[in-house]
Structures are given as C-alpha cells and as structure tokens.
Amino acid sequence: MNAIQNKVVIITGASSGLGEATARHLAARGARLVLAARRTERLQALVADIERAGGQAIAVATDVTDAAQVQALAQQALARFGRIDVLINNAGIMPLAPLAKLKVDEWSRMIDVNIKGVLHGVAAVLPTMTEQKSGHIINMASVAGLKVFTPIGSVYSATKFAVRALSEGLRAEAPQGVRTTIVSPGAVESELQLGSTDPDAAAGVKAFYQANQIPADSVARAIAYAIEQPAEVDVNEIVLRPTVQD
C-alpha cells in the first residue's frame, strides 16, 4: 500500500488542466476523490474514466466563490467517504491585462475565485481536520506569486502573493496534525492561458505559453510528492517551472 492509497482528496477546479491531471494521477495511486468545479458534464466524464480504471470518485458541482457551496462540497465528501484527508484548493482564473485597461470586473473576479475561493475551502475543511487531528491543505499559487508579472499580470500576481501569504499563515496557525503546502508552478499547459479578454495581452500570453509550457502532469507529480510524505513531514512549498522559462 502506498501513502496515497485510500486518502480522501477534494480537488477544486478538477474539470480541466492541473486539477484534472492531478485527479487522474491520484486516482491511479488509489486515492478516493471528490471532484469540484462548475462544469459538471466534464466532472462526470472524469468520474466515469476513473471508475472504469477501477478508482473511486464523485463529482460535486461547486462554485468556489460561494462559501455555502464549498461547505456543501466538504459535507458531501464526509457523507460519501467519512473523512477528509486532503483539500487541493486549485480552482483559479487568469484574465491578464494592463492595469490601465481598467478591467475592474475581472479584478474582482480574480479576487473572488483565486483568493476568496481558497479561504472558502479552508473554512470548509478546517473543523473536520482539527477534529481528525490530521489533514493536508494544498493551495495552488504560482511563480506569479513570487514575482510580479508586469505589465499584464499585476492583479493575478496580487492574488497569488495573497495565496502564498495565507498559506504561510495557515501553516503557522494550523492545528495539530494539519499540513499545508503551497504549489507554485510556472507555465503549464491548460485552458488558463485563454483567459485574457484584452487582445494584445491574449497574444502575448499565447506566445509565452507556446515557448515555455510543460504538461499538467508535472504538477500532479509534485502534488503527489507532498501528499505521500510521512505525516510528520510537511512539504511547505514546491516551486517548479519549465526548464526554459526565465
């Protein structure tokens, strides 16, 4: 038996990209998965694939900007599997544009999904993990949370700096037995790069990803590494990026 076998893992943003790749990877290692996103048809197809391969997963329609829906997600995990070992706060959006374009609605949306979504996840699982005296919260940040990507990434970077700050605070405050990991990837192939509504920014992002991106499974393997460490070892942060990326 490996250290991932039977762990109950909630993944937000599991309908594509890094979340989906992580779901497939952890399912193959025997984790029991609770998959959350808004596009339920994609989640259902993923659950069907996992079950066909002999794994266990359920899909839960969830908008992470709604605290009540994230609470309901945690409740469904408990109802189905009786415990929560890992929460991967992965859902995120990246509508990049220069600040001067004043895309104020997109700024709010990024704050709602990328920051508040993570906080809603923490609030939904912390009481259970405290009671269990064990648990693991993995927050998806970015290398954009280590360096501000100007001139189009200021707000996105701000959200990822916030995720890293929250995660470090959570690590320091975490109840007995609860681990916290920040995962900070560089350019990874997914739908995230399609988020810009500003044409110049979209073209720049496309060119950058074409020159740099690595497969989503690279991040799945990093997440698995953090989960499979013995309970007394907390991998605080993993930074990984394409070898060719600056």
Size of the site for ligand NDP (CB under 6 A): 29
| Residue selected from 29, 38, 171, 221 as contacting ligand NDP according to rule CB under 6 A | 38
Residue 103: strand, helix, or coil: coil
**Shortest distance, position 128 Cβ to ligand NDP, whole Å:** 20
Contact 40, 61 (CB under 8 A): yes
C-alpha distances in angstroms, 199 versus 98, 109, 150, 244? 11, 19, 16, 25
Give the position of tokens 């009786």. 82
Give buried/exposed letters for 163-176 (b at 16+ CB in 10 A, else e): bbebbeebbeebee
Which residues in 128-187 contact ligand NDP (CB under 6 A)?
Answer: 140, 142, 185, 187
- CA gap 191, 209 in Å, rounded: 11
Does 93 bind ligand NDP (CB under 6 A)? Our answer is yes
Q: Is 156 a catalytic residue?
A: yes
Only segment of 23-31, 61-69, 97-105, 232-240 that touches ligand NDP (CB under 6 A): 61-69
- Decide whether 2 or 21 has the Cβ nearer to ligand NDP: 21
Only segment of 58-66, 71-79, 167-175, 199-207 that touches ligand NDP (CB under 6 A): 58-66
- Decide whether 19 or 55 has the Cβ nearer to ligand NDP: 19
Which of the residues 121, 156, 179, 180 is marked catalytic?
156
- The vertex-187 CA angle with 148 and 50, nearest 5°, equals 130
Active site residues: 156
